[in-house]
Amino acid sequence: MIFVHDIFVCKPGNASKLAKKFKEAMTGQEELVHVMTDLTGQYNRVIMVTKYANLTAYEKSWEKYKENPELAKKMEETMQGYQEMYLTGSREIYQTS
């Protein structure tokens, strides 16, 4: 099992807005575990946690948007403007042991 953390450092005042967008966009997606905002550490962070059986499953998860144009369009509409809400981001992938 792997867990993927997509980490966004938001512009001040935008963390909760971005978290809301992720929750809306990922509604019904079985891989979503959590959308979290910081309580300590670096301010204005949003972390979206997803889980997959393995790296192959993670890679294949992106193909559903290629195969389903309606789903891709819905995601694009929901996430419209999200690039303006954050300063930087990163991705971390963890494996359970």
pLDDT tens per residue across all 97 residues of the chain: 999 999 999 999 999 999 999 999 998 889 999 999 988 888 999 999 999 999 999 999 988 878 888 888 988 999 999 999 999 999 999 999 8
Right CATH for 2-95 from 3.40.109.10, 3.30.360.10, 3.30.70.100, 3.40.50.620: 3.30.70.100
Other beta carbons within 10 Å of 38: 14
3-state secondary structure of 30: coil
Q: Residue ranges per domain, the chain?
A: 2-95
What's the pTM?
0.89
What does each C-alpha distance from 63 to 24, 43, 56, 60 come to in angstroms? 20, 33, 11, 5
Calpha distance 11→16 (Å, rounded): 11
How far from chain centre, in Å, is Cα 91? Answer: 9
pLDDT of res. 64: 82
pLDDT of res. 82: 95
pLDDT of res. 93: 98
Reading the block at residue 88, the tokens are: 């930087």
